[in-house]
Amino acid sequence: MKTEIWIVRHGETEWNTVGRLQGSKDISLNKIGLQQAQDCANYLNEKPWDCLITSPLNRAYETASVIGKELDLRIIRMDEFKEMNFGDGEGLLIHERNELLENGQFPNQEKMIDFQQRIMQGLDKIIQSYSGQRIILVAHGKVLNELLEILSDGALKSGTLGLVNGCINKLEYYNQIWKIKSYNDKEHLQTYSDIGKI
């Protein structure tokens, strides 16, 4: 059975607009982010869906809430898709982060291998619980970047994809093989900013 997962990056927040690293911080959507969530809902409403899953962090859950209301779907929270914890780098602007960054990591940051294992365990959990279904998943920029790199066997490099807030990324799982059908789709968005891209 074919399983489809369309992953939505959460809508814009004020921290996105100024370039603050959010990570595990629980930041809410701004006005544009709420509009982006509605744009996603309007676009996704053109197809039938079985399931709506989200990271429990506010910016993702608020995006999922707008989508769920439009599509009449119950929201399922999954901790596996929380954004990476960037430790001491969270809340900092780019120039502040550059001063703190050591060997590609911030002090007290979640280890990359642990993060990658966590999000892949989340995908495995979806396949085990919702095989053969059409699923919407609302998640975060770093989550998406790492998933796309892993599932493309490195062809899509994390940090080079320019994923904007509200973009949609389409995955398919069939015969134990993952396929990336598209990524960073943004034609449905009335407004988006390159400032928050990752």
- Output the furthest CA–CA distance in the chain (Å, rounded): 49
Q: Which of 11, 144, 150 is nearest to 83 (CA)?
A: 144
Beta strands in 140-189 (DSSP E): 168-174, 177-185
Query: Which of 3, 9, 44 has the alpha carbon at shortest distance from 148?
Result: 9
Residue 175, classed as helix, strand or coil, is: coil
Catalytic residues: 10, 83
By three-state DSSP, how is residue 7 classified?
Answer: strand
Burial class from Cβ neighbours inside 10 Å (0-12, 13-18, 19+) for residue 190 reads exposed
